[in-house]
Amino acid sequence: MIASVPRASCSTQAPVTARFIRAAFSTLIRKAAPVLGALLIALGGTALPAQSDRPVPAGASGEAKAPGAAKAPGVPRTSAASREAAAVRVPDPYVGQLPAIALSHCAARLKAAFRSGNARDLQAAIQDVELLRRTYGTMDVLPLVEAMALVARDLGSHGDPVQGLKVLDAVERWAPRNPTLLATRVILLRHQGPKGYLLSLADTMELTRYRLTNPLDRGLWAVQHLAWLRLGITLLLWGWTLALALRYRKVFRCPLEEPLLRKGQNPHVVAIFGAIVVTLPVLAGLDPSFTAMLWLWLLAPTLQGAEVKASVLILMLQVVQPALTLVEPMASSVPIPSIVTLQQRPQALPVDAATLLKLAPADRAFLAGWRQLEFQEWAKAEATFDALAKHHPDQAEVLNNLGVARYEQGKVQGAQACFDEAATLAPGRGEILLNQSVIAYRLMDGNLGASKQEDARRLAPDVFNNILAVNLVRSDQRAFPLPLPDNPERIKALEPPPDAVEGPRGNLRDLVLLLNFGLPVLAAAAFLIRLRHSIGEAHPSQCTRCGDPFHTTDSPDPAVCSKCHHLFVLKDGLHAESRKRKVDEVGAFQASQRWLHNALTLLLPGLDKIFMGETTAGFVEFVLFCLAGAMILSTGRAVRYPGEIVQDPASVWMPMGILLTVLIYLRSWVKFLPRRG
Ligand SMILES: [Zn+2]
């Protein structure tokens, strides 16, 4: 619940956003408006235009629009009850709206500077942010960075991506490798045509790496990028079955109808019966894949070796469907509450007092000390952490923060003792090493300062990059506090009450999933069993010349019926009249074969070859066609990741799919060109 946006799957994105916007607005109006008004007057009304000309992006406007209460990127998910409680509570002086207001003022100045194009104005605006940021810490600057990302995107969509990229270059120093900035950069580069698209690939890779290493984003990324795999495999099953049913269309229903005809049933009744059986799954409202499986089962005895192998493979591949269904809940799961996030991310709503009461008293004192550091109440913070230094379990964090409070009051020796002790307790922590380096520089020991910095760069590269890269001005270097770390008890204390969590949807979902896993296996097993039983029995084959089913033949070619053998090879034994009828029949069958073959070549490349019995070549071509088509139809267009305000750019799968589809079609249509020889 703390500083985390509900994990919304693609389909539930819109309602979640709408709910959130409503909640944010009602909170803003009911609670923050008086405070906001007073602050705006205090600032001389300068923040007012900043709100009115802020861009309103579709779908993501909520986070960016309302400064103060609602612009934080992490928005807590609260139950209706706790939202009500938050609305009636007396305003807390520690709510933390000041930084947000001040930063929105900076955003207005930055925007104006970019619009004017004046380098000096821009430098002044950036300096303003630097000054503010030093007071509020690294994470609080994220709302500003995200607001500027929206400005950059707006510039790009109005035909000025170059200026948009300049905006990104200016703000990137405050949040290096931030996913919102990466996504915005990719989108802006793509506005610049094919060359920009190629240039954007490096940032796309970086963004992908970030998504895959972030445990909360991994699931949603997989669902966004692998949805096409499911569709591709389904299309493969449908297309494959269609081609085989067309190829063996004359004998397809024989196993159903022949025994009834032998018993003397009316042929029309028998035909209707056969039609009902082959369409039964669709009539019963089942998935078309059921129909495809039934048809393959019916076709099993007729198929040739390569066709049998490919059919079993395709049936077993359907297991990918339920396997990917298992990934989907990961995309919409609520993230684990984190006390680190609570401390480092700006909070849109004050933390529920009842929630904090569930924390251990020592942890509550630590959080109070953290707040005092944030508000630069150094003496109070020193007293708080000094008291905790005796009994709090996380001694390294406590001592480091005590050192920070002392350093900021000019007590360099006392701070040094704290940092050194913290470093022995937790060697390799980037913040502590950097603090030791800050002290060494302060005491004019440049060698020690440099070596500690080098240690931090080596042992904690992420912390080093995040902190030091944004802290460019060496002369105003400050010390860095450590947040209270997460542990199972603290996470449990922060968990929302059970009534706020959506109940599990019960055993029904598990049952459906089990069925989905079992169905392809069952279908493949049934297919193989039928194939085995059919070996001893006489099943009709389909004559390649006239298309009629036959059981035995005099012809040396096993695919040609006796009639055709006598008629076209031996040229004997038939009356002139029945001979003419047979020739017409063969002509009509061959014409329909040609028509079907041309249609498949035109529309479904690969199936034409399967239809003519070139199984392997056709299978490979059709697999590629299915995957390419599915990439176009089913790749998630653009997903907004929870806690971020800009949608990720469209996946590179889609252009790849379009390219591949065009190539496959062109390759297939070449078959229509007249051939020599
Ligand atoms: Zn024949």
Among residues 191, 213, 235, which one ends one of the domains? 213
How many angstroms separate the alpha carbon of residue 248 from the centre of ligand 1?
13
What percentage of the chain exceeds 90 in pLDDT?
Answer: 19
> Phi and psi at residue 605, in whole multiples of 5°?
-55, 135
**Cα of 576 from ligand 1 centre, angstroms:** 17
Q: Could you report the per-residue pLDDT of 62-117, keeping only the tens digit for each? A: 333 333 333 333 333 334 444 443 333 333 443 344 555 566 667 777 888 887 77
Q: What is the mean pLDDT of the chain?
A: 76
- Taking the centre of ligand 1 as the mean of its atom positions, its distance from the CA of residue 537, in whole angstroms, is 21
Looking at the 3D structure of the chain, how many domains does it have?
3
Ligand 1 geometric centre to CA of 545 (Å): 5
**Nearby residues for ligand 1 (ion, Cβ within 5 Å):** 543, 545-546, 561, 564
Assign 563 a pLDDT band (cuts: 50, 70, 90). confident
- Tell me, in angstroms, the distance from the centre of ligand 1 to residue 508's CA: 52
Centre of ligand 1 from the C-alpha of residue 538, in Å: 17
Distance 277 CA to ligand 1 centre (A): 27
Residue after which a domain boundary falls, among 161, 182, 213: 213
| CA 297 – ligand 1 centroid, Å | 25
Please tell me the distance between residue 622's alpha carbon and the centre of ligand 1 in angstroms. Answer: 29
CA 566 to each of CA 250, 548, 563: distance values in angstroms, whole numbers, following the listed order: 21, 15, 5
Residues 93 and 200 in one domain: yes
Q: Do 419 and 545 have their domain in common?
A: no
| Position 598 in a domain | no
Q: Give the range of the structural domain holding residue 461, as residue numbers without chain letter.
A: 339-347+358-495
The domain that holds 363 is classified in CATH as 1.25.40.10
Task: Give 267-298 pLDDT, tens digit per residue.
Answer: 888 889 888 888 888 888 888 888 999 999 98
652 in a structural domain: no
| Alpha carbon of 561 to ligand 1 centroid (Å) | 4
Separation of CA 551 and ligand 1 centre (Å): 11
* Domain assignment of residue 102, yes or no: yes
| Ligand 1 center from residue 514 Cα (angstroms) | 46
Assess whether 59 and 190 both reside in one domain.
yes
Please state whether beta strands 541-542 and 549-550 pair in parallel, antiparallel, or not at all (unpaired): antiparallel
509 CA distance to ligand 1 centroid (A)? 51
CA 566 / ligand 1 centre spacing (Å): 10
pLDDT digits over 367-376, tens only? 889 888 877 7
Find the helix or strand (DSSP H, E) in which 257 lies. Answer: helix 254-262
| Domain-embedded: residue 474 | yes
Q: Cα of 596 to ligand 1 centre, how many Å?
A: 19
Same domain, 68 and 170: yes
Choose among 310, 319, 642, 343: nearest CA to 490: 343
| Residue 388 belongs to some domain of the structure | yes
392: left (phi over 0), alpha (psi -120 to 50) or beta: beta
pTM of the model: 0.61
Q: Residues 42, 191: one domain? A: yes
485 & 547 share domain: no
Do 400 and 457 belong to one domain? yes
Give residue 661's pLDDT.
95
C-alpha of residue 310 to centroid of ligand 1, in Å:
27
Does residue 185 share a domain with residue 125?
yes
In a domain, 668, yes or no: no
CA count, 13 A, side-chain hemisphere, 287:
13
C-alpha 534 to ligand 1 mean position (Å): 22
Ligand 1 center to 82 CA (angstroms): 79
pLDDT band at residue 218 under the 50/70/90 scheme:
confident
CA 551/CA 547 separation, integer angstroms: 13
User: Among 190, 213, 236, where does a domain finish?
Assistant: 213
Q: How many angstroms is it from 560 CA to the middle of ligand 1? A: 5
CA 102 to CA 39: how far, in whole Å?
Answer: 10
Give yes or no for a contact between 546 and 589, defined as CB atoms under 8 angstroms apart: yes
Question: Are residues 15 and 87 both part of a single domain?
Answer: yes
If asked whether residues 484 and 552 sit together in one domain, one would say no
